[in-house]
Structure 1
């Protein structure tokens, strides 16, 4: 999955596009605990990726999340 695909998913979760930058810290990009759960659900159910909430929470930046999903 590309960064653009991840970005589109995050936008669909209500995160402002301007907050979604590769260098943004996870929480600064709007990924609070609820958004992390929602993102993990979308990645599993709609994209078939095995990504857990804990893995997303452990990611420091949006770039780390993008690398995580790209590896799956």
Structure 2
């Protein structure tokens, strides 16, 4: 019974952690930006839209971003 409970708890943790991925964006001037979810690139404006870890929707010029890496 204890093993079943442990397996159920582990399964729940894995399912919940897979709901959203966090990303790290590095800028050309050396800043690291932690995001909640995958940033989206708007091809019309060239802006990268993302949600910061506080839940605020932000934008940055795509020319300033050097890389986007999933954590």
**TM-score, normalising length from structure 2?**
0.24
Higher alpha-carbon Rg: 2
Higher strand share: 2
Tell me the TM-score normalized by structure 1: 0.24
Greater relative CO (CA pairs within 8 A, separation 6+): 1
